[in-house]
Amino acid sequence: TQNDVSLKNSLLKEIDFYLVTDSGLSKKGTLSDVKESVEAGCKIIQYREKDKSTKEMIDEASEIKRICGDRAIFLVNDRIDVALAVDADGVHIGQDDMPIETARKLLGADKIIGLTVHNVDEAVEAEKKGADYVGLGSIFDTSTKKDAGKGIGPARIREVKNAIKVPVVAIGGINKENCRSVVENGADSLVAISAVVCSDDVKKETREFIDIIKEIKNSS
Ligand code: TZP
Ligand code: MG
């Protein structure tokens, strides 16, 4: 219903920093990263796992759900089946994953569906098809996702923001030094993977990102 939609929209607009897990880059492991980031105030976790069995993923996802509790929204990347199995809050899917209309049928109206987009046309299409937010990227060059392509630049965030109403989450190559341009161009929130999970202190990095983002949002 329209109500579910505006509820999810306001929930998502309150987010500043968005953590996506990466077990390949992590120093202390995904569960530790999730725990530390949520303790530092991260309000949304996306479990992104490309190398584990379905069974391992379901075990890990149910642990993440437990850690998030009512402190953070919990989404699963790509795997609608894993999201359903553990009753996650939703999924994040890409342009080549399950079509969003199909994902919506399987998940129902209450779950959150985020869709990766690269430009204004994809963003408008995503909103029309019922995406609750769009993930826009890669903003800068990154080596974390091998097929991410060259960075589209932070100015693209403003173009996308002007074209849609659902929240825009910026991703790709973002660190504490370049995140100002991301927030100043209107991103509702931002993802940093390597800048956080490659660190020895995920809690401190998350805290610092949240503080920087809040400070920029409050001053602009
Ligand atoms: N999608 C677009 S870029 C990216 C993903 C998953 C990787 C972002 O990782 P990092 O380390 O923050 O550049
Ligand atoms: Mg995908």
Residue-wise pLDDT tens digits, 150-187: 999 999 999 999 999 999 999 999 999 999 999 999 99
For residue 191, how far is its CA from the centre of ligand 1 (angstroms)?
Answer: 8
206 is in an annotated binding site: no
6 is in an annotated binding site: no
- CA-proximal residue: ligand 1, atom 3 (nearest): 172
Residue-level pLDDT at 12: 85
Looking at every residue in the chain, the average pLDDT score rounds to: 95
Task: Report the complex ipTM.
Answer: 0.98
In tens, the pLDDT along 104-140 reads: 999 999 999 999 999 999 999 999 999 999 999 999 9
For residue 220, how far is its CA from the centre of ligand 1 (angstroms)?
Answer: 26
- Does residue 1 have a pLDDT over 70? no
Q: Ligand 1 — pocket residues by CB below 6 A?
A: 20, 137-138, 142, 144-145, 148, 171-174, 192-195
Q: Which ligand neighbours the alpha carbon of 93 most closely?
A: 2
Q: Give the Cβ contact number of residue 24 at 10 Å.
A: 11
For residue 43, how far is its CA from the centre of ligand 2 (angstroms)?
Answer: 21
Query: Angle at which helices 155-163 and 120-128 pack, to 10 degrees?
Result: 30
| Cβ atoms 49, 21 nearer than 8 A | yes
Which pLDDT band, with edges at 50, 70 and 90, does 78 fall under? very high
For residue 212, how far is its CA from the centre of ligand 1 (angstroms)?
Answer: 19
11 or 160, greater pLDDT: 160
Q: Which ligand neighbours the alpha carbon of 78 most closely?
A: 2
